[in-house]
């Protein structure tokens, strides 16, 4: 009797594990792949800005535009205070640190590129977002 009860309990526990229909699983795979593609386009776009910063091209203009965007975010409450402060801290460290963050492949870098104050310098890559 206890063997039967144990088997029934085991079967019930196994059935609690949700089995995802293949179409939902496929939809999730497609969504993850699309997100990864967007992240890669954002990275490529920001790498061009980082390259300019590292080469000393348009540094003052790039940083001024980013600071202006951050001010707009704060004034109009368009962005989380966390990102406003994070970008201010990065920019305060100078062009090399900005370039490092723009090219960083970690989750932090991905998040920062999703909330970028450098949109003015992304030159026709609106589809990256």
105 to each of 9, 13, 40, how far by Cα in Å? 46, 40, 9
CA distance 43 to 109: 9
Higher pLDDT, 38 or 11: 38
Residue 92, domain extent: 33-121
Task: Note whether residue 38 is domain-resident.
Answer: yes
In this structure, is residue 16 part of a structural domain?
A: no
Residue length, the chain?
129
Q: Determine what percent of the chain is predicted with pLDDT higher than 70.
A: 79
Least confident window among 10-14, 27-31, 53-57, 90-94 = 10-14
Over the stretch 55-66, which tens digit does the pLDDT of each residue have? 999 999 999 999
- Read off the pLDDT of residues 83-117 as tens digits, 9 standing for 90 and up: 999 999 999 999 999 999 999 999 999 999 999 99
Q: Number of structural domains, the chain?
A: 1
User: What dihedral do alpha carbons 122, 124, 128, 129 form, nearest 10°?
Assistant: 80
Confirm whether 98 is domain-assigned. yes
């Amino acid at each position: 009797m206890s063997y039967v009860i144990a088997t029934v309990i085991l079967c019930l526990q196994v059935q609690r594990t949700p089995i995802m229909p293949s179409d939902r699983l496929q939809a999730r795979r497609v969504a993850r792949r699309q997100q990864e593609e967007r992240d890669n386009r954002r990275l490529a776009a920001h790498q061009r800005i980082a390259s300019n910063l590292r080469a000393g091209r348009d540094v003052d203009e790039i940083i001024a535009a980013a600071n202006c965007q951050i001010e707009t975010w704060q004034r109009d409450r368009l962005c989380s205070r966390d990102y406003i402060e994070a970008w201010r801290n990065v920019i305060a460290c100078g062009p090399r640190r900005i370039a490092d963050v723009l090219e960083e492949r970690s989750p932090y870098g991905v998040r920062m590129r999703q909330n970028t104050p450098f949109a003015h310098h992304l030159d026709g890559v609106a589809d990256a977002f």
